[in-house]
Amino acid sequence: MQPLGLRSLAQNLTSLEVLSLGVVAMSAKVPNTLANLSSLRALQMDVCDLHGVFPSAIFNLPKLIYLGVADNKALIGQLPYFNSSSPLKQLRVPGTSFSGKLPASIGNLRSLEFLDLNSETCNLTGSLPASIGKLPSLSYLDISGCQFSGSLPSSIGHLPSLSHLIIIGCNFSGSIPASFANLSNLEYLSVSMSPFTAQTISYLSWIWKIKKLASLYLQKINLYGEIPPSIGNLSQLVELSFLGNQLSGTIPSLLRNLTRLTTLYLRSNQLSGYIPSWLMSMTRLVILDLAINNFHGEIPSSISQLQNLQVLFLVKNKFSGTVELDNFLKLKQLMVLQLSFNKLSCHTSSTNVNLPQLRVLGLASCNLSEFPAFLQNQESMHWLDLSNNNIRGEMPFWVLNGSSNSMEYLNLSHNFLTGLDRYYSINPLHMYTIDLSHNMLQGPPPEASSPIMFYIVSNNRLTRALPPWICNLRLVITLDLSSNDLTGVLPVCLGNISESLMILNLKGNNFCGNIPELLVRGTRLMMLDLSDNQLQGNLPRSLANCKMLEFINFANNLIVDSFPSWLGSLPELRVLILRSNKFHHVIERPQSSQTFLKLRILDLSINAFVGKLPVEFFHSLNGMKSETGNFTYMHKNLLPRWYFSFTYYGNYDFSMTMIYKGLVLYYPKISKALIVIDLSSNLFEGEILGAIGDLKGLQGLNLSNNLLTGQIPPLLGNLKALESLDLSLNKLSGQIPQKLTELGFLSVLNMSYNNLTGSVPRGKQFDTFSNDSFKGNSGLCGEFISTKCQDSEDKSGQPSTHQEEGLGSAIELDWKIVLLGYGSGLVIGVVLGNAFISWKHDWFEGNARRRRRPSQKPPRRGRNSWFGKFFNFYRY
């Protein structure tokens, strides 16, 4: 329908009583003339692609009983003042973008029976008015997705007719009002995903007295304690979910009284014990989700008695023993089976063609040594995870043969696969995600077709150049071929491979030549890692178009360029690593103070930068000026896929290798709280800037192996979060400031080989550092170093050998790990692969230095896959 037709309809049919245009793709604004239809009793315009402002006068049409404009995301507007004379009975605006506040006059709608505001794009804010409790006829109330805050009004408990109450994803705080106990007609109750104050589940004892309750969802609302036996009083209960709380103890035996139960979600709690045998008598169960708890023991074979079971989640518990998969295959209705990440040994011998047709199968970390034979008769598989097993050799063609038209997700990572069957290529029609990482695949990368969105084959033994079909992956979001032995130049097509590309990881290969202009039109690219290759030339200036970039790593290449100050315009950039290249020249004064505002990790070490450190550059690093309590990790949520009544996501975690605290550390995850600067092994000169003392969140600072002079600024003592400080191999002079003893988290200190004089300060962490932290400073003395102080001695000291020989010498100094302080420091991130190395500091002859490329790479195998290992679930 054209917009003109809708206006004409409103003008010509002035006596119209019912206007139903549901699912008519009119792509139009709602005309104001609809507010003139004084006889209109029902207006239904669901899923019509409406946009613009909804005329508020329509809400108060004198005879309007039914108003529904559901699922028009671009429809905006505000709810008006409601007249007490309004006969409105049903108000349905879910899936719209209304904003403002819910007016207190909502309480004037005495005839209102159905109020649905549920929307992911709902912008209603403020408090939920107490007048909502003045609606005596209201039977259905759904405010999910709205941005209401404050306390839930206790007046809701005074709605005598209420049968459905749904409150999901709001910002309510405090507690669920006890007055809800008055809702004796309640049949469906869902209170989920709101930041309520943590409270014991016994506080909600009134719920167990609502005899009509058929569906109960209390998810992610900070409940703790043991599930009370009185839950067995809810004899009408069909659906029950306590997902995402902190409930403990065992499953109460009186739960067996819930003989009507078809759905049981206990995922993501702290429940323990065995799976009770009586649970097998609950034969109406369709969905059983016990994932991510502490259940242990064997999975009972009697589970095959649950003949109506369609979904079984037991992932991430402590189940042990041998599991015969044939036992689960007796469940003819089964569509989802998830046993991943327990301590199970799974076996099967069945190839029966009458087996259930699974949609989802997760057997990660189940000690499989071969592909289950029953897969060759599966024709509807959407999702298959056999990662973290001991499967060896080639993947036979029959694994996906039957499901080639349905398979969307395949994860075979962390096995010992050497290749794919020679007749097989990854070309199922709907394959979106494939993860073959951490195997022993050889030859060229396995071919994939254009539907692929997530292509991950890292940590294998792949060789040759990138194949031409890579350029055809027009929908790819994540492309990861890192840690292989791929060679050749990067294809020019990477400049426009996909506007959807978010992750490009080609690190740890043997790519050479210049870096092509990447993503010249600008994209959603968030993470770019080309480190540990042999790339040359300049950085591609087109990166400045990628405004969503958070992570850039070009470490250990042969790049010749000046400091890329133009990257400072990227508003989301958090990590910039240019270590071990041939960057040179001075770091120019930034042209704007609004540069590198979110940068938290900066590694420019082992290059040939010269000149003084620009004070304006450090002033602009706002992201480092405060500590953060955000201990989440840098990652990208992979595209959600829906199956039945749950949602699951995979995460792609950003990773990096850094020299931190004197160690080469591999971070398989990068904490958003980690803040580090490494400018070591360059030719910086002049004094250490006091402006660095403004970077209050800094945890690691490495300025070693430069030409810095002058005194150590006392302002470094303001870096209260500092854990590691390396100022070694410079020409610093004067005394060590006493203020540095205030650094309570400092666990690594290296001031060796400078011209420092006087006594080493005493107190706190400084009392834990040994002589190695201060050696090569002939003018230093102290109780814990080799030269003791004499009270009458002049501690001015002699110039160090390091200063006298200068850059022209052939001196080589072993930089071994400095003694860790006894204080633990603040542990940031997960650290794996801690491999200590002794670095030989290569000094440049004259004004240049030889390039060094560390050979250390992250571990090629691990037993914890990052991808798709557990599922987040939200039930509406």
- Predicted pLDDT at 364: 96
| DSSP secondary structure code for residue 758 in this structure | E
Q: Is 738 exposed, middle or buried (0-12, 13-18, 19+ CB in 10 A)?
A: middle
CA distance 57 to 853: 71
Taking the chain, what is the end-to-end CA distance rounded to the nearest angstrom? 32
| DSSP secondary structure code for residue 129 in this structure | P
| DSSP secondary structure code for residue 645 in this structure | T
Per-residue tokens: 386: 């056999």
In a domain, 743, yes or no: yes
Give residue-wise pLDDT tens across range 698-742.
Answer: 999 999 999 999 999 999 999 999 999 999 999 999 999 999 999
- Number of Cβ within a 10 Å radius of residue 296: 15
Contact 717, 690 (CB under 8 A): no
Give residue-wise pLDDT tens across range 29-58.
Answer: 999 999 999 999 999 999 999 999 999 999
Mean pLDDT of 82-98: 96
- With CA atoms as reference, report the closest residue to 528 among 513, 515, 510, 512: 515
Q: Which of 29, 46, 78 is the last residue of a domain?
A: 78
SS3 call for 779? strand
Which amino acid is present at 540? P
CA distance 291 to 873: 11
Mean pLDDT of 121-137: 95
SS3 call for 70? coil
Which amino acid is present at 585? H
- With CA atoms as reference, report the closest residue to 570 among 526, 609, 540: 526
In a domain, 41, yes or no: yes
CA distance 592 to 581: 26
Per-residue tokens: 852: 């060094």
- Predicted pLDDT at 104: 97
519 confidence band (pLDDT: 50, 70, 90) = low
Residue 477 to residues 387, 518, 526, 628, Cα–Cα distance (Å)? 21, 15, 10, 30
In a domain, 333, yes or no: no
In a domain, 246, yes or no: no
CA 768, 771, 776, 777 dihedral sign is: positive
* Position 812 pLDDT exceeds 70: no
* Position 573 pLDDT exceeds 90: yes
* Position 857 pLDDT exceeds 60: no
Work out the angle at residue 337's Cα, subtended by the Cα atoms of residues 456 and 640, and round it to the nearest 5 degrees: 45
DSSP-H helix ranges across 13-76 = none
Strand pairing partners for 636? Answer: 652
Strand pairing partners for 313? Answer: 289, 338
Long-range contacts of 566-571 (CB under 8 A, 24+ apart): 566/541, 567/543, 567/596, 568/592, 568/595, 568/596, 568/620, 569/544, 569/595, 570/543, 570/544, 570/546, 571/547, 571/597, 571/598
Give the contacts of 536 (CB within 8 A, at least 6 positions apart).
512, 513, 514, 557, 558, 559, 560
DSSP-H helix ranges across 384-522 = 398-401
- Predicted pLDDT at 5: 64
- What phi and psi values does residue 791 have, to the nearest 5 degrees? -55, -40
Look up tokens 């860790």; give the residue.
820
Scored b (16 or more CB within 10 A) or e, 508-540 reads bbebeeebbebbeeebbbbbbbbbbbebbeebb
Pairing of β 832-835 and β 663-667: antiparallel
829 confidence band (pLDDT: 50, 70, 90) = very low
Mean pLDDT of 167-187: 94
In a domain, 759, yes or no: yes
Residue 829 to residues 153, 630, 662, Cα–Cα distance (Å)? 41, 11, 17
Give residue-wise pLDDT tens across range 137-148.
Answer: 999 999 999 999
Helix (H) or strand (E) holding 470: none
Work out the angle at residue 403's Cα, subtended by the Cα atoms of residues 325 and 367, and round it to the nearest 5 degrees: 30
CA 105, 108, 109, 114 dihedral sign is: positive
Per-residue tokens: 110: 């005495």
Give residue-wise pLDDT tens across range 331-353.
Answer: 999 999 999 999 999 998 776 76
- Predicted pLDDT at 629: 60
Contact 138, 165 (CB under 8 A): no
CA 194, 196, 200, 203 dihedral sign is: negative
- Predicted pLDDT at 822: 32
What is the average pLDDT score of the chain?
Answer: 86
- With CA atoms as reference, report the closest residue to 756 among 702, 802, 720: 802
Work out the angle at residue 541's Cα, subtended by the Cα atoms of residues 537 and 547, and round it to the nearest 5 degrees: 140
In percent, the amount of the chain with pLDDT more than 70 equals 86
- Predicted pLDDT at 854: 37
813: left (phi over 0), alpha (psi -120 to 50) or beta: beta
* Position 617 pLDDT exceeds 80: yes
Per-residue tokens: 436: 């073959």
785 confidence band (pLDDT: 50, 70, 90) = confident
Q: Which of 78, 97, 130 is the last residue of a domain?
A: 78
Helix (H) or strand (E) holding 375: none
533 confidence band (pLDDT: 50, 70, 90) = very high
SS3 call for 290? coil
Which range (85-94, 562-571, 810-819) has the least confidence? 810-819
CATH code where residue 60 lies? 3.80.10.10
CA distance 568 to 592: 9
Work out the angle at residue 224's Cα, subtended by the Cα atoms of residues 218 and 226, and round it to the nearest 5 degrees: 95
- With CA atoms as reference, report the closest residue to 384 among 362, 413, 414: 362
CA distance 343 to 36: 68
In a domain, 426, yes or no: no
- Predicted pLDDT at 422: 60
846 confidence band (pLDDT: 50, 70, 90) = very low
- With CA atoms as reference, report the closest residue to 28 among 64, 67, 54: 54
- With CA atoms as reference, report the closest residue to 178 among 199, 150, 148: 199
Q: Which of 46, 78, 110 is the last residue of a domain?
A: 78
- Predicted pLDDT at 409: 87
814 confidence band (pLDDT: 50, 70, 90) = very low
- Predicted pLDDT at 523: 76
Mean pLDDT of 467-490: 94
SS3 call for 825? coil
Look up tokens 């955000």; give the residue.
630
* Position 380 pLDDT exceeds 80: yes
In a domain, 859, yes or no: no
- What phi and psi values does residue 542 have, to the nearest 5 degrees? -65, -15
- What phi and psi values does residue 315 have, to the nearest 5 degrees? -65, 150
543 confidence band (pLDDT: 50, 70, 90) = very high
Residue 856 to residues 596, 666, 833, 837, 839, Cα–Cα distance (Å)? 29, 10, 10, 9, 12
In a domain, 285, yes or no: no
- Determine the structural domain holding residue 60 and report its residue range: 1-78
Total number of domains in the chain: 2
Contact 557, 535 (CB under 8 A): yes
Contact 313, 340 (CB under 8 A): no
Which of 230-244, 465-479, 760-774 has the highest mean predicted lDDT (pLDDT)? 230-244
Mean pLDDT of 273-300: 97
- Predicted pLDDT at 768: 92
pTM across the whole model? 0.85
* Position 813 pLDDT exceeds 60: no
